[in-house]
Structure 1
Amino acid sequence: MTAGRYRVTVSTDGQPLLQGWWDDETVGRRKFASWVGEHGSRPGARVTLVDEETGGVLTEWPDAR
């Protein structure tokens, strides 16, 4: 069994709390939005969606800018 291409991670204070992998980017983006809603109020929370094939961060919350 292999992990999917798109990984969503919820971390708090830099430590991973929850991770999931999906083969479909649309599903990964939906899960990203869902986890922001579910876990975004935790102190120090950060949620990221990464394309494991390219290593690129597709989106993150809160925005790193």
Structure 2
Amino acid sequence: MTAGRYRVTLVTDGRPLMHGWWASEKTARRKFAAWVGENGDRPGARVTLTDEETGAVLTEWPDPQ
């Protein structure tokens, strides 16, 4: 099985902690929200949802300023 198109990445203090790929954008967005809820209190946490086909960042938390 190949990796899905949509990748969710959790980085804490600039270091990758978790990543996952899903074929469905809807599923990836649910995972994104879950990871923010489960890991948002970690120091320096950043969660990103990327479309691997286009390279576009679809959403990230916290919002970049």
Q: Which amino acid in the other structure matches residue 38 of structure 1?
A: E
The equivalent of 2:27 in structure 1 is 27
Report the alpha carbon displacement of residue 50 of structure 1 after superposing the two structures with TM: 0.2
C-alpha RMSD over aligned residues: 0.5
TM-score by length of 1: 0.97
Distance (Å, rounded) in 2 between the aligned partners of 1:51 and 1:33:
16
Distance (Å, rounded) in 2 between the aligned partners of 1:49 and 1:14:
16
Distance (Å, rounded) in 1 between the aligned partners of 2:64 and 2:25:
21
Task: Render the CA deviation track for 1:24-61: whole Å, top value 9, x for unaligned.
Answer: 00000000000000001000000000000000000000
Unaligned residue ranges in structure 1 (runs of 5+): none
Structure 1 segments (4+ residues) deviating >3 Å: none
Unaligned residue ranges in structure 2 (runs of 5+): none
Q: Which amino acid in the other structure matches residue 27 of structure 1?
A: T
Count residues with an aligned counterpart.
65
- Secondary structure class of the residue paired with 1:2: coil
